[in-house]
Structure 1
Amino acid sequence: MTTLDEILASFASLAGDAIVIGYRDLVEDPEAKVLWINEAYTDLFGYDQAEAIGYGVSMVNDPAHYQDFLASVVPRIEAGGRHISAETYCRTKQGKSVWTSIRIFLIPVEGGRYSAAIYRDLNALKQREDAAEAALQERDQAIREVELSQDRLLTALNGLEGPFAIWDKDWRLVVSNQSFAKSLMNRKDMLAPGTSLEDFLNLAANSGLFEDAVGREDKWAAASADALRAGPIRDITRFTNGHVHQAISHRTPIGDTLVIGTDITELESARLSRESYAQQLEEAHKIAQHHAYHDSLTGLGNRRFLNEELARLSDILRREGGRITALHVDLDRFKQINDTRGHAVGDAVLCRVGDALQSLVLETDTLARTGGDEFVILRYSDETQDQPPRELADAIVAAFWRPVTIDGVEHRVGASVGIASTDVSDVSDLLTDSDIALYKAKSLGRGRARRFDKSDFLEMAEMKTLSDDLLRALDAREIVPFYQVQIDAQTGRPVGLEALARWRHPKRGLMTPDRFLSIAEDLEVVDRIDQLVFEAALRECIDAFANIPAPSLSFNISHKRLMSRGVLTAARQATEYPGRVAFELLESIFLDDQDEATSLQLDALRDAGVGLEVDDFGSGHASIIALENVAPDRLKIDRRLIAPINTSSRSAGMVRAIIDLASALDIKVTAEGVETEDHANILRALGCGRFQGYHFGRPEPLSDVLQIWWPEHARRVASTG
């Protein structure tokens, strides 16, 4: 038997691993050449006998890691090692990288050396190790965030004047403030978390503070515990010092109970207390307003703020004359800085740019950040204006020609400016025209300012073409419904569909509303679009869900359509659908602009059996009283509030507040913009009942939605069709 035969016989039992046998002539060959491979070698690396035999055994070594591999094994071979083990990356015939363990057996012969190498695929083990490390890092980060949130909560609670406590579902203390211990138990040290409700009530009963407890401490403690468990409470408690408190409890969706105490000793005290509470609400409202109208990074106004300022200046212009100028500023090299230096540096640059612009504008100017690296300045001027807008634009270009220094590193940002004024443009076109001028400035080489001219009118021509196409599309019924699924937070099952408008343009393809809705508003045909989508969707869904439990079906409708006669006809048609039908209206329409006619129309829709939902809740500034008066069936939380909840405890707190408010008013909640599993888990923990967003599916034709979420029914429909 030859030496090769001996080797083959020795390793035949190892056929489960990839095996290669080679021979190296120590004089002629730089490395061993393949003599034989087994089937497992072919399965792992993709090379068959014909492709491997005669080639160097290193043909499967990953070139990027080969030198490291040699550095590991060569010294051991030179030291006389006969059995050598190592781990390294190999590369398959298809180019896939594989982490392997290698055992090498060397058999010296005269003039050469036989070698046998056994490869084992460790990719799965390597991936599990990497995943475990990532999970540990994620857990540590989550712990740090929870600890920070707890510290903030304790600080906020201790700032409250009245007693405040949260009890878990087992009636053990979760958290309380200093006032809780001082005013209810006459002790300076705070009650320890985990204290049972009975222990707390016994301490309170024996503190001598409660009139009703004197002489009957045990009975008072037991009765108080029963009342809290039965909840909610709104009890009046009299103290031995003459003070009177009102205690209010509220059960949260996760089973916790919040208890808040308020001193209502005298009518004046009560009035001041209500005023204080109203002031707190007002402050919260102001904070919410500030966030709604300002950019969170730079503190400057946002696009919504800009639009309202433009409306304000337009009123002045109509009354007093003068001129409004818009300067649209765009940073020329911000993307490169952000991509190469990272988002932290990019954010610092934006803040520095905001400060620089603030120093250049007048106190009467309006400055807003409208996009990633875009800023807009509005200036109202009359005959007494000292600085022409062109001088401001040139000053901005010059200022950002100089480098911006962040952490000792200079960054050359550069800026281009588009200028439009009411000398040439209508007020309604001012921002668009300044944007067109900015585009022209950038197309001419950046780092310059350009004033809008009527010759820069190509975009308006394009808009005119699209307007004509849209009017034709309405007659041709090119506006069709697409559907986005809504998921039950607890079961993960589809429970609703929202019908959304899409335009099948014969030349431009499928168009989403962001490409034509503004044109539709200008043409005043939004209500016609709503009607087309409603009729088509209702027809499709009646057929599709005739023989299975039907999901709820919701439609966006404009205020104009809400107030039309046709909407009541649509409501009656909706009764043909076997499931629930709801109309979604924007928060601003639904709550803030409600007059008597709107209220009557909403009541008529309810009477017809149509549900009412508030869309984009949190984007406006509706009052709680208005929300309670309208009493919609469901709130849909604006996607802009949902997006940051996995990175911002403040955002998560705002969403929790909305959910708790809705729960208190017996209003269901849907979260829009749920794009990740993390979003879904957080919202589920906060008590949100329904999810909608790209994590579960983009808007699709009904046939595609059925294939994904109701596949068996879709096949039956297809077979019968």
Structure 2
Amino acid sequence: MAMVSMDDHMVLANSAFRRTLGYGEAVEFPPFDKLIDPDHLLEAASLLKSVREGHEEARRIRLRLTRADGHPLPVLAGIALADEELGPGYIVQIIEIAEFSKAIEDLQARESRWNHALVGSSLGVWDHNFRQGHLYYSDQWRAIRGADPGEEIDATFDVWIQKVHPDDRDHVQEAIARQNAGDPEYAAFEYRERHKDGHWIWIECRGACVERNADGTPARVIGTDTDITERKAAEEMLADVSRRLELALEISQIGVFEVDLESNVVEWDERLRAIYGMAGAERIRPSGLWESMLHPDDAQEVQSRIKDHLDRGSGFTNEYRIIRPDGSVRHIRARAAPFTDATGRPKLIGANWDVTSDIALQLELERSKTLAEARNRELEVAKARIEHNALHDYLTGLPNRRYLDEVLEKRAQECMREGYGLALLHIDLDRFKQINDTLGHKAGDTMLKHAAKTLLTNIRKDDFVARIGGDEFVLVSRLETPQDNIARLADRIIAELCKPVKYEGHLSRIGASIGIASAFGAIDGKELLLNADIALYRAKSSGRNRHEFFSRDTQNQIINTKRVSDEILHGLEQDEFAPVYQLQFCARTMEIAGVETLARWIHPTRGVLTPDTFLSIAEDLDVVDTIDGIILKKALHDFDRWASAGVEIPRISVNVSSRRLYDPALIQKINALDFKPGMLSFELLESIFLDDRDDLVMANLEHLRGRGINIEIDDFGTGHASIVSLLQIAPQTLKIDRELVRDIPQSAEKRKLVSAIIEMGKSLDIKVVAEGVETVDHIRILREIGCDILQGYALARPMPFDKIAGFVRSGSWRQLESPAHELQQSLKKIVTQ
């Protein structure tokens, strides 16, 4: 003990105080505040001040004082005011606590080490002291759940259990109960708890009851929590990989084996046992079993290969056959590799799979490949043949239209690149159809082959010739200069094709019409072919057995023909074709003998058009029969309307084209019409009746007569029909061509010719009609020579239906009547009076 004055000087100190601090009896103490370690000076000064001022009662504090030798001395110091008898000051009592401090420091060090270990191990510590009602949770325990250090935690059981995953709550409650009961099976358990951020974390809880109450209930339970979320994810990933691996092995039917190379213990999985026909047997196989199952032809090579790779420590692949217990032979493919396990033992792991079906398929594929290769060779030959056939005409062997198009495109590019020109000769055989129709298709084929051979013989080296259909050929010829004489080549081809060809003892002749088109530089093959076609049309229209060059005038004519063709077809759709009528008169009485029906086209912009403006184009369109049919139906309708109006027209005649007589359906069409026998006549051109008539034409004519339709020969006298042909046709009427009638007032020869025709008609009981009656002299002369019926502008012009009735009632043509007719009319009046 020691007494210290109010100004910190040592008043007295007992021997124990001096000995403890290392001060002898004669040594003077420094002031008390100098004995205190600077680290403790502030705390001690504060306490001393409070004691001096009477605010603090005696109290003990831990101080570190400095001994006389300078070493620190930890003490437990008691400080209190001195009694009044001792005087002003305070009493200091010290107890040396060096060993106690060392124990405290050791304890603090151990605690620090454990705290660092716990933090490093990511363990969250919890301490449930139920006896004291104190629940402790470390900062790491809070961090696992996303809480901040020192954050208040409501860890009551009812609140905490709600944070546990619903699927784990029953398990957790049971585990806690069993853990508190000391069940070693539940010293650790796993569950999911919701993190502060909202996601689930996996926790491994380890705990134990360290204190119990007298009744055995837990008084204190301490444990640790570990975040095992990543481990669980890894376990799930591993499980997923294992499941996939197992599924892959199951699907692929791969069997796995493992061999301990020191003990020769062999382990087979279930799939491998199934592959080897030993399903259900033990997993561990006796050494040498596998070797005994190898096919004798494969055993030595397989085992030698395995030994070689094991010696080198490398993986390997094998293929071999096995003989299973049931005697069946299977093909096995194997892969294996040596490795050293965790204990350092050398092992071999591998996989086998049954490839018997693959081998069988491979053999089948090889057989199929061999067969396919043989077939491919056949197909190549067939393909070459097909390609040749696709580009060539089957009959003549010449290139076809497709081949021509390819050559034209290629030659056009060459022309543009090299600057030369091309000439196209479009060749159409003349009289080919007649030969084909009269002598048969074999004769036609012979003519086509002859034409092909002739063309090939007469073309130049670089020329190209193709048959593009029917009796049409195209020759493509290179032009070095515009002055190349293509006309000479065309004439030579025509001359050669016109030479007679012998067929089955007959000499047959064909000819050729050629259209020529040429161009230089930038050439459009399609346009060039079209131009040659246009020129060919002109050549055929100009008399055949000739050639024509393409020109813009020819093109314009074709364009005009195309325009008129389109208008004709449109006119038929719009019902623009209508009949007009030219009255015919009895030459003796001047009474109306009938009307000739004439076709007119009521064009929307060009007005009324006569057949000479559209007939030839209509023939090319093959619509003349259609126009004839329209005119006939309208004429029959008009005839009925005249009769209803009291206008007496004895008969009507209509023109019929030659093509219509070849129509197999003509009889059916005529039978569908309603008319009286004798009131309808068909006018047929004399040019129809050549000596070699078709049987169908004669049959149709016979049927027409049977229906009461009279047959008239139009434009008679042009010299086509013979007397024999005329007798066979037996027409009711002949119409003398207007060219013969026109000159009879001035030409005695023409008058004699017309008179002879009339006499011939009378001798054959055939009425004669004279066309082209233009003057009174025509009427007089024709009466004198005995003509039966007159028709011409002198008597009546062609008129539409609505003009006929008025004209007939007016009788205006009677001004031209003869005195004999007037005498007849006078006698008729006397008789009727």
| TM bucket, shorter chain | 0.3 to 0.5
TM-score (norm: length of structure 1) = 0.38
TM-score (norm 2): 0.33
